[in-house]
Structure 1
Amino acid sequence: MLVKNRTITKPAISTAALLATAAVLFSMALSSCGHTNAEGNYQQQTPSLPVFAIAASDANTTEEYTASLEGTQNVEVRAQVDGYLSKIYVDEGAYVTKGQPLFKIDDRSYSEQYNNAGANLEAAKANVEKARIEVDRLTPLVAHNVISEVQLKSAQAMYSAAKAQLAQAQAAQGNAGISLGYTTVTAPASGYIGKIPYKTGSLVGRSEPQPLTMVSDVRNIYAYFSMSESAFLEFVNGQPGKSVEEKLKQIPPVDLILADGSVYAEKGKVETVEGQFDKGTGSIAFRATFPNKDGLLRSGNTGKIRITSHHSGSILLPEEATFELQDKIFVFQVGDSNKVSSKPITVSGHSGNYYLVSKGLAAGDKIVYTGLDRLRDGAVIQPELKPLDSLVSGKPL
């Protein structure tokens, strides 16, 4: 049987059908971005966007700096004599007063040294008395030429030597008494006891690298924080006064933000600034003091110092009305014929959810509030001018 080969072909699509499909797609594209008027001519839609006018007002800006906290006194407690720790009178974290006993070092050998020094002192006193008596005995004999003057001078020399030995014995006893007193270690200042690394029976002494403990006076707390060189210059230039000392006095009370984000109840005062910048970090350190009558703060705590500055007649701009491009902040300003143009601004601080603008804007400028992602330079909008308060829920500080 002879079988013939057959070629299977797809049905052809007509040119008219292709044109019709293209017309439908083009019509759909037009309907998504514009509309046609009564005469059938296409018109592009003008977006309607909220716009507000810039106005100058008073504002408070805040800056925060990482801080480390220390007590006004952090004193190491060290053993002044060598010996075994026989008693520990306090526990870690306890509050102690200046002069309160903290530790007891075995004092038996030091007590014996003191007793021996006392015995030597008594012997020296006896020798002085003996030498004095000898001088008193020889003096009238020399006066009556019974004995030679040389014997009296020799007796007087012995008397002087005895008195010198008495002074040495008194010093030795005093030194032994000091060493014996060092066996009771007392608090050098009032404050809280830190970690105690030693236990009863431990051998301690002056050569030990680790102290017996640390006493921290935390009735007032020092908060140390640093500023960069540019922040320091801006901060100082913004304060009244001629010298740095005068400017520090004008700084308003500052807040301490604790590690859990809460604000410490007491206000602090910035009191000192270091005399030079740290070459390694390029920053300069400040010190603020906070009262700590309840003992909530301890040495070693961390937090943040919040400094609030008041600005009169400032330009405030909500962050929602800005966008960033290449590390710069821009806004869309409405100009003639309702055309928008991007404009860079310089921000000098924050006030809540607002930027404090130092350059780039002036009172009366009209700024687009939202819909910035749909805009380009030269785009025409239909502005809906509204008061800024009606657009923004978060108020500046």
Structure 2
Amino acid sequence: MHGHKKGCITLTWIVALLALTILPGGCDSWRKQQAGPPSVPEVAAVVVKPQQVELTTELPGRTSAYLVAEIRPQVNGIIQKRLFREGSDVKVGQLLYQIDPAPFQVALDSAKASLGKAQANLPSIRLKAQRCEELLTDRAVSRQDCDDAAAAMGQAQAEIEYWKTAVEGARINLGYTRVTAPISGRIGRSSVTDGALVTAYQPMSLATIQQLDPIYVDVTQSSAELLRLKRHLEAGRLSKDGNNGRKVHILLEDGTPYPLEGTLQFRDVTVDPTTGSFTLRIVVPNPQHLLLPGMFVRAVIQEGIAEQALLIPQQSVSRNPKGQPITLVVDDANTVQQRLLTLDRAIGDQWLVASGLKIGERVVVEGVMKVQPGISVKVVPWEGPKVGQKVSNVSTSPVQSN
């Protein structure tokens, strides 16, 4: 009897242990039946559509004066007076320096006196030559006397011309004592003061005048970029804008846009062998003299118009372990596929795609982290950045991507 009770207790414990082992599995199965099939992940996507885009590039450059004139004296003398304020604007023909004119006035007066003397002697010499010709017909004088009289008259005439030239030269030198501005512009500091001795055509300039309105902006562009642009134009990927193709926007050193547009004047025809770049010269209006020579600026130059540009949001692009740009697309069967892209450049908060996508394909923008290639997804339209959400800065520099 005691052995029978012991066997019943053992059997009870065995049944209890089996129930505890089977019960969790049964609960899990019951929960799965109640939950139903697994849900399909949802992603937001944009449809790739072609659009017309103006492609520009930012190039660094520096400003330089439109005209530059270095003021140098053309005669020797003492500076009597400086007649301008350093750093002021001067007009063409404005008197800048006055050199002591006294010795040049004396030279002019002396030349005029010598000219008068030569002119006073000419009538008597001319009459003597005429009388000699009359007397020669009567053989009252010799031929030699007439020849000497004619030569004396010619010498007197030549002396008059000499002194006329001397008078004009003295008058020019006297005028050079007034040092005037050859161009209009802003004059810099003076290298001499009143009482300084200056010499004609000395190496050191007295001052420098620079015309600041308009002003030049010289930027450099690599020859490789020029070749790339020409290939795109020849292939039809870009077209020229005849109306605005020469308009240039300027960004100041702190990144703020300059209010006035510039005009592309020319592209240099020579490539610098040390840098592999050439110079582009831009003429920019500068009525307020906001731009000064030597300032660093950036010029936004139009490359052309892309008629069939494909743009996708930057957040839809990631990188594979090799650093190559990739994106996820959803095919007609709502299956995710991975695409390798070639990116041209960033335009605002979007990438310009050179290759890897087709028109009409759906690119995954949101929900990338919860999907992977090969799985089915539910696609909803992407609504774009929300109000107040920051987007990336505009960058039009080409990128090298495979």
TM-score range, shorter-chain basis?
0.7 to 0.9
Identity of aligned residues (%): 24
Offset from partner CA, 1:127-162 (integer Å, 9 cap, x none): 333422321342322232211121011011011112
User: What is the match of residue 57 of structure 1?
Assistant: 51
How far apart in 1 are the matches of 2:192 and 2:220? 36
1:188 deviates by 0.9
User: What is the match of residue 346 of structure 2?
Assistant: 350
How far apart in 2 are the matches of 1:335 and 1:37? 35
Q: Which structure 2 residue ranges, 5 or more long, are not aligned?
A: 1-27, 235-239, 395-402
Does the Cα contact within 8 Å between 1:127 and 1:162 map onto a contact in 2?
yes
Does the Cα contact within 8 Å between 2:61 and 2:218 map onto a contact in 1?
yes
Distance 1:94 1:88, change over 3 A: same
User: What is the match of residue 274 of structure 1?
Assistant: 268
For the residue of structure 1 that corresponds to 2:66, the secondary structure is strand
How far apart in 2 are the matches of 1:323 and 1:304? 30
Aligned residues: 354
- TM-score, L = length of structure 2: 0.75
Offset from partner CA, 1:106-133 (integer Å, 9 cap, x none): 2222222222222222222233334223
User: What is the match of residue 25 of structure 1?
Assistant: none
How far apart in 1 are the matches of 2:42 and 2:282? 51
1:210 deviates by 2.4
For the residue of structure 2 that corresponds to 1:157, the secondary structure is helix
How far apart in 2 are the matches of 1:76 and 1:352? 46
User: What is the match of residue 330 of structure 1?
Assistant: 325
1:95 deviates by 1.8
Measured on the aligned residues, the alpha-carbon RMSD in Å equals 3.6
| Mapping 1:208-227, distance limit 5 Å | 208-227=202-221
User: What is the match of residue 259 of structure 1?
Assistant: 253
How far apart in 2 are the matches of 1:36 and 1:192? 90
How far apart in 1 are the matches of 2:76 and 2:172? 13
1:64 deviates by 1.0
How far apart in 2 are the matches of 1:289 and 1:238? 27
* Of 360, 384, 391, the match for 2:356: 360
Does the Cα contact within 8 Å between 1:331 and 1:367 map onto a contact in 2?
no
Does the Cα contact within 8 Å between 1:342 and 1:377 map onto a contact in 2?
no
Distance 1:340 1:249, change over 3 A: closer
How far apart in 2 are the matches of 1:124 and 1:93? 50
Q: Which structure 1 residue ranges, 5 or more long, are not aligned?
A: 1-34, 241-245
User: What is the match of residue 77 of structure 1?
Assistant: 71
Does the Cα contact within 8 Å between 2:79 and 2:98 map onto a contact in 1?
yes
* Of 308, 314, 319, the match for 2:309: 314
Distance 1:125 1:326, change over 3 A: farther
Offset from partner CA, 1:139-194 (integer Å, 9 cap, x none): 32223221112101101101111211221111122112211111111111222213
Distance 1:220 1:122, change over 3 A: same
- TM-score, L = length of structure 1: 0.76
For the residue of structure 1 that corresponds to 2:80, the secondary structure is strand
Distance 1:371 1:247, change over 3 A: closer
Does the Cα contact within 8 Å between 1:61 and 1:350 map onto a contact in 2?
no
Distance 1:117 1:326, change over 3 A: farther
For the residue of structure 1 that corresponds to 2:264, the secondary structure is strand
1:357 deviates by 1.3
1:92 deviates by 2.3
